[in-house]
Structure 1
Amino acid sequence: MRIVMATQNPHKVREFAEIFGGRVELAPLPSGLPKAPETGETFLENARQKALFYAAHVEDPVLADDSGLVVPVLGGEPGVRSARYAGEGADDRANIDKLIRALRSKGVREAEAWFACALVVARKDRVIMEVEARVDGLVHDEPRGDGGFGYDPLFSPRGESRRFAEMSAEEKHRFSHRARAVRELLARLPAPDATEWV
């Protein structure tokens, strides 16, 4: 089965492809499509918006994710604005720097946090499936590691001293919010010839 991911971020497509392990053929969005709205107040609302928006532009089913880091001591920031925390078009470094400043302004070196992931699969004008998952851990005020992307240098999952950015892809997939969501999605995904896809 071929599914189009609602992103042109090659890091994200590669990470999802690794997690899917060949059970689904993933393709990035075609270039030139307009940007989907992301005006929801939750990860699930944003994923649903993106999935339905792009499903109207491509023939194959669309998989959209919305994921991010939630830090309760910061009032839930960066939350649904994780990718845009330091402003529209901000890169990972700018977002990380802003988060570090926010933590230090509260006088904390590390704080409880979680990564959340919502996945929505849509075809044409219909949602086929929705799943959500999260991984709890700590966010730190100093980055470590060279792997991963986003806030991975700042986050260690519960029971681990290493950050996501210090783990191999296989190690990270044992813990990550995306891997948990994909495993649930795969367990519930209709067969390629099921009527849900029509």
Structure 2
Amino acid sequence: MSARLLLATANKKKLVELQRILDQALGAERIALVGLGDFPDYPDVPETGLTFGENALIKAREGAKRTGLPTVADDSGIAVDALNGMPGVFSARWSGGHGNDGANLELVLAQISDVGDEHRGGAFVCAAALVLPNGREHLVEGKQRGTILRARRGEGGFGYDPIFLGEGQTRTNAELSPAEKDAISHRGKAFRELAKVIAKELPR
């Protein structure tokens, strides 16, 4: 019988991505993943933390408390060297509204339009938390270094993927297949590490 695990996000693309990573790490029959869409009255949880880890724990704690399910949450974003590590935790709402990927991406491009190629480094960062109903908590982090391009490339992925060229890569994250992206991405690294914890905490 599959263990039920809540992913505290309403982002359907992220839900699909996490299910894919966990299926590969744990086995497709191991975890029954549910999202916030399965709880129609679930309230918005303010992300008031100043770090990715703080926000991930805030969301995971709330999910475990409200649903009684082991809960996974992540906070992730892009840290641009030329912007002193911003947008950081504000990545999803950098342009003002939450989740407007196109506007967020274009604003970052505009803000570093005059930055030389040698200074256009950055990193995708993901903090992923697991909180159990008994109060036990786990937090891991994954990071992918790379370069911020001057224009979009690729139609896949989401967020800032079309302008991010990972170290050692010739294609942006948006030009990679889902499996290729999972293998090198910040979220892939974080959730594979978290999968080890889930396997111990949610035994067969």
Which residue of the partner structure matches residue 84 of structure 1?
93
Q: Is residue 129 from structure 1 mapped to residue 141 from structure 2 by the alignment?
A: no
Which residue of the partner structure matches residue 7 of structure 1?
9
Scaled by the length of structure 2, the TM-score of the pair is: 0.89
Which of 71, 95, 99 aligns to 2:104? It is 95
Distance (whole Å) between structure 2 residues aligned to residue 127 and residue 142 of structure 1: 43
Percent identity reads: 37
2:7 partner amino acid: M
Which residue of the partner structure matches residue 202 of structure 2?
192
Residues 139-148 or 15-24, more deviating: 15-24
RMSD: 1.6
Which of 110, 115, 118 aligns to 2:124? It is 115
Which of 170, 175, 180 aligns to 2:179? It is 170
**Structure 1 residues 123 and 96, CA, compared in 2 at 3 Å: closer, same or farther?**
same
Distance (whole Å) between structure 2 residues aligned to residue 81 and residue 188 of structure 1: 28
1:44-94 CA-to-partner distances (Å, cap 9, x unmatched) read 001011111121111211100000000111111110000011113351100
| Gap runs ≥5 in structure 1 | none
* 1:1-80 map, 5 Å: 1-21=3-23, 22=28, 23-29=30-36, 30-80=39-89
**Structure 1 residues 76 and 87, CA, compared in 2 at 3 Å: closer, same or farther?**
same
Residues 32-41 or 112-121, more deviating: 32-41
Paired residues, number = 193
Contact 2:79 2:124 in 1 (8 A): yes
Contact 1:120 1:127 in 2 (8 A): no
Which residue of the partner structure matches residue 153 of structure 2?
144
C-alpha displacement at 1:188, in angstroms? 2.6
2:163 partner amino acid: L
Distance (whole Å) between structure 2 residues aligned to residue 150 and residue 43 of structure 1: 16
Contact 2:82 2:115 in 1 (8 A): no
1:142-182 CA-to-partner distances (Å, cap 9, x unmatched) read 01100000000011110002100001001111110111111
| Helix, strand or coil at the partner of 2:66 | coil
1:154 partner amino acid: I
Which residue of the partner structure matches residue 168 of structure 2?
159
1:1-58 CA-to-partner distances (Å, cap 9, x unmatched) read 2111111110000011111112422111122211112111110001011111121111
Runs of 4+ residues deviating >4 angstroms: none
| Gap runs ≥5 in structure 2 | none
Scaled by the length of structure 1, the TM-score of the pair is: 0.91
| Helix, strand or coil at the partner of 1:179 | helix
| Helix, strand or coil at the partner of 2:140 | strand
